[in-house]
Amino acid sequence: MTPRRRLAGIGAFALASALVLSACGGGGGDNTDTGEGGDAGATEGGATTGIVTVNGTEPQNPLTPGMTNEVGGGLAVKNIFAGLVYYDAEGATHYEMAESIESEDNQNWTITIQDGWTFSDGTPVTAQSYVDAWKYTALLSNGQNQQYFFHDFAGWSETEDSEIAVEVVDDHTFTVELAFPNAEFERTLGYTAFMPMPEVFFETPDIYSDAPVGNGPYVVESWEHENVISLRPNPDYTGPRTPQNGGIDIVIYTDENTAYNDLLSDNLDIITNVPASAFQTFESDLGDRAVNQPAAVIQVIQVPAWLPEFEGEAGNLRRQAISKAIDREQVTETVFAGTRTPATDFTSPVIDGYSEDIPGSEVLQYDPEGAKQLWDEAEGMDPLGDYTLQLASNADSDHQTWVEAVCNNIRTVLEIECEFYPYPTFAEFLDARDAGEVPGLFRGGWQADWPAMSNFLGPVYGTGAGSNDMQYSNEEFDAKLTEAGAAESPEEATELYKEAQEILFRDLPGIPLWYNNATAGYAATVDNVQFGWDSDPILHEVTKSE
According to the model, what pLDDT value does residue 251 have?
96
According to the model, what pLDDT value does residue 232 have?
97
Percentage of the chain surpassing pLDDT 70?
Answer: 91
Q: HSE-up of 397 (CA within 13 Å, CB side)?
A: 27
Say which residue, 47 or 150, is predicted with more confidence: 150
Quick check: 243 and 47 in contact, CB under 8 A? yes
DSSP 3-state of 479 = helix
> Residue 515's pLDDT band (boundaries 50, 70, 90)?
very high
**Mean pLDDT (whole number) for 176-200:** 92
Residue type, 459: P
According to the model, what pLDDT value does residue 486 have?
81
Say which residue, 418 or 68, is predicted with more confidence: 418
pLDDT over 80 (residue 392): yes
According to the model, what pLDDT value does residue 35 have?
31
> Residue 60's pLDDT band (boundaries 50, 70, 90)?
confident
Please provide the average confidence, as pLDDT, over all residues in the chain.
88
**Mean pLDDT (whole number) for 354-376:** 97
Quick check: 233 and 247 in contact, CB under 8 A? yes
User: Which secondary-structure segment (H or E) carries 459?
Assistant: helix 454-461
The DSSP bridge partners found for residue 51 are 247
Report yes or no on 145 lying in a domain. Answer: no
pLDDT over 70 (residue 28): no
Burial class (CB in 10 A: 0-12, 13-18, 19+), 357: exposed
DSSP 3-state of 328 = helix
pLDDT over 70 (residue 31): no
pLDDT over 70 (residue 30): no
According to the model, what pLDDT value does residue 73 have?
87
Report yes or no on 404 lying in a domain. Answer: yes
Burial class (CB in 10 A: 0-12, 13-18, 19+), 385: exposed
**Mean pLDDT (whole number) for 144-173:** 92
pLDDT tens digits, 521-532: 999 999 999 999
Question: What is the distance between the alpha carbons of residues 257 and 326, in angstroms, rounded to a whole number?
Answer: 30
pLDDT tens digits, 401-444: 899 999 999 999 999 999 999 998 777 887 888 888 899 999 98
Say which residue, 323 or 158, is predicted with more confidence: 323
Report yes or no on 369 lying in a domain. Answer: yes
Expressed as residue numbers, the domain containing 301 is: 295-518
Residues belonging to the chain: 546
Report yes or no on 309 lying in a domain. Answer: yes
Report yes or no on 504 lying in a domain. Answer: yes
According to the model, what pLDDT value does residue 520 have?
96
pLDDT tens digits, 76-93: 999 999 999 999 998 899
Question: What is the distance between the alpha carbons of residues 431 and 437, in angstroms, rounded to a whole number?
Answer: 9
Work out how many domains the chain is built from and give that number.
1
Say which residue, 426 or 183, is predicted with more confidence: 183
CATH of the domain at 484: 3.10.105.10
pLDDT tens digits, 476-503: 999 998 888 888 787 888 899 999 999 9
Question: What is the distance between the alpha carbons of residues 364 and 343, in angstroms, rounded to a whole number?
Answer: 7
According to the model, what pLDDT value does residue 46 have?
56
pLDDT over 90 (residue 70): no
pLDDT tens digits, 214-225: 999 999 999 999
Question: What is the distance between the alpha carbons of residues 11 and 447, in angstroms, rounded to a whole number?
Answer: 6
pLDDT tens digits, 298-322: 999 999 999 999 999 999 999 999 9
Report yes or no on 539 lying in a domain. Answer: no
Neighbours of 435 (CB within 10 A): 8
* Of the candidates 119, 20, 6, the residue with the CA atom closest to the CA atom of residue 64: 119
Question: What is the distance between the alpha carbons of residues 355 and 342, in angstroms, rounded to a whole number?
Answer: 13
Report yes or no on 372 lying in a domain. Answer: yes
Report yes or no on 154 lying in a domain. Answer: no
According to the model, what pLDDT value does residue 466 have?
67
User: What pTM did the predictor assign?
Assistant: 0.78
Sheet of 166-170, strands arranged across = 98-103, 108-113, 173-177, 166-170
The DSSP bridge partners found for residue 519 are 292
User: Which secondary-structure segment (H or E) carries 113?
Assistant: strand 108-113
* Of the candidates 95, 76, 98, the residue with the CA atom closest to the CA atom of residue 86: 95
